[in-house]
Structure 1
C-alpha cells in the first residue's frame, strides 16, 4: 500500500476529509443554485445543452447532477490518472457548451468551493480558519483540471470573499436561473420515486436554497428564515446524516471512497477527527501535496 497512488490530494489533505461528509450533497445543490445566477454562464448551458430541454433534457438534468458528483469523487479519491482523465472530459464538455472562458470557469469553480466549505462548516463539520484557507488553496488543483490557471484562482477564504464582492454586480436571476430553480425543486423522476422526491429531495433542495447567501435570496425573490435559523437547520441535518454509518453511505455507487481505501489501506478512510488530531501539522508551515501540484 505504501507505493499506491494517493491521487491529486491524498489522505493528508483537508479535501480528502471534507469531501467524505454526507452534507456534500446539500452543498452540491447550493452550488448549482449559485452558479445559475451568472447570466452568461447559465445561458451557455441552456443554449448548447439538452439538459433543460423540455422534450429531451429534463431527465438528463438528473444525470448531470450525478455526473458532477462523480467528477468530484473521482478527482478527490481516484488515482492521478483517473483525475486527469476526468478533467480532460470536463474541459471537452465546456468547449462544447461554450462555457470555457476563464471568467465563466472561475465563477463555476468559486461557487462550488464556497458552497462546499460554507455548508459543511455551518452544518457542524469543524475546521479551523487555517484549515479552511488550506481547503481553498487545495481546491486550486480542481481549478487546473477544468482549464484554469491556478495562479489566478483564490487561494484562501479572504481572496474568495473578495472575488464574490467583485462579481456580485454581474449576477442576476434571469429566466434560465428560475428554470434551474424549478428543476431543483421538482426534478423529473420515475413514477415509483415520486413519493421519495416529495418527502426527501424537496427537503434537500429547500435546505440548499436556504444556505445561499442573502444576496442570492434577494435575486431569486424567495425569502428564507434568518441565517441563524438556517444554520441550526443545517446543523440538525448534518447530525442526522452523520448518524448513518459511513460504511453504509459509502456503499452507494460509484464507491469512490471504498476504492481509495482498498488502494491505500484502511487507515486512509476520511474522518473529521483526523483534522482535529492533525490540526497542528495541517496548519503549520509548508504546503500540501495538492498545493505543490497546482503550482
Structure 2
C-alpha cells in the first residue's frame, strides 16, 4: 500500500487516473499484445524512469526546462505522479483520454520557455514544445524504458525492440512531434546525432546528485539505491562518463534487480486495476 501511495500520490493508493483509463467505449493506441503495453506494465519501468531522468539531464535545453520551471525539488512525488499519469493514460487509455492528456501536457509546455547555453557557449532560446527538444525527451525516455526492460525483465517484447520503438512513436504525435525513430537502429542514430550537443554543467551535476539522493521516505531508500545503480549501469559508457557515474557492473546488478522486481510484483499481487479497467474498456469497444 505504501508503494501504491508513493507512485500514485493518492492517500488511498488508488491512482486518480484510473477512472480516466476506464471511461468510454473507444480503443486506444495499444492492445495487451503490443510491445508498449507489455513494456510499460512491467516493474522494470521503475528503473527506466530513473534512467530517463538522468539521460534527459544531459541536454542543456531539457535541463533548463526542468531547472527553471519544474517543481521537482519542492514536490518530487507530485512531479513523479504527473509523469506516471501521462505514461499510463497514453499506454492504456482511450483515444479520447489520450487527446485530453496530451492537451494537458501541451498547455503546460506553453509556459516552459527560456534560454540555455549550448555546447559551444552560445545562448539560445527554447520552448518545451520545440520539436527538437521534444525529440530528445522522447528518445531519452523511450531508450531508457527499452534498455531497462531488456536488462531487468523476463517478459519478452512482442516484435522485439523495433516494434516497441515504432509503436511508441505514436505517443508523441499528440504532443506535436511528427517525426520520431521507427526502429532500434534509427533510435541509436538519433542518439549519436544528439551527442555533440550534450553538455555537463554544474547544474547537470546538481540534478544528477539530486536524482541519486532523491528525498524519498526512509522505507523506500534502500530499494531506490539499488534501482538507481541499476539505471546507471544500463546507460552506455559514453553517457555514464558525461554524467560522472561509476555504477557496479551490469552482470552483478542484473540478477539482483530482476529478482527484486519480480518479488515486488509478487508481493503486490498479480492484479492491476489499470490494466483490468483498460481491458474492460477494450471489450466494450469490441476489439477484444
Band of TM-score, shorter chain:
0.7 to 0.9
- The equivalent of 1:220 in structure 2 is 243
Return the offset for 1:26: 0.7
- The equivalent of 1:80 in structure 2 is 95
Going from structure 1 to structure 2, the CA distance change for 1:231 and 1:68 (only over 3 Å counts) comes to farther
Equivalent residue in structure 2 for 1:240, among 260, 263, 279:
260
Superposition map of 1:153-192 within 5 A: 153-189=180-216
Equivalent residue in structure 2 for 1:28, among 42, 46, 49:
49
User: In angstroms, what is the RMSD of aligned CA positions?
Assistant: 2.4
1:120-158 CA-to-partner distances (Å, cap 9, x unmatched) read 011244547952101100011112122201xx2110000
For the 8 Å contact 1:122–1:231, the answer to whether it is kept is: no
- The equivalent of 1:68 in structure 2 is 83
Return the offset for 1:240: 2.9
Q: How many angstroms apart in 2 are the aligned matches of 1:118 and 1:44?
A: 25
Return the offset for 1:14: 1.1
Gaps of 5+ in 1: 53-57, 266-288, 290-295
- The answer on 1:257 being equivalent to 2:280 is no
Q: How many angstroms apart in 2 are the aligned matches of 1:68 and 1:81?
A: 19
For the 8 Å contact 1:23–1:119, the answer to whether it is kept is: yes
Return the offset for 1:35: 0.3
- The equivalent of 1:285 in structure 2 is none
Return the offset for 1:78: 1.2
Equivalent residue in structure 1 for 2:138, among 104, 109, 113:
109
TM-score, normalising length: structure 1:
0.76
For the 8 Å contact 2:35–2:159, the answer to whether it is kept is: no
Q: How many angstroms apart in 1 are the aligned matches of 2:212 and 2:274?
A: 27
Gaps of 5+ in 2: 1-23, 114-127
Which shifted more, 65-74 or 121-130? 121-130
Which shifted more, 21-30 or 139-148? 139-148
TM-score, normalising length: structure 2:
0.78
1 or 2 for the larger relative contact order (CA 8 Å, sep ≥6)?
1
Q: How many angstroms apart in 1 are the aligned matches of 2:277 and 2:157?
A: 29
Going from structure 1 to structure 2, the CA distance change for 1:256 and 1:160 (only over 3 Å counts) comes to same
Going from structure 1 to structure 2, the CA distance change for 1:135 and 1:141 (only over 3 Å counts) comes to same
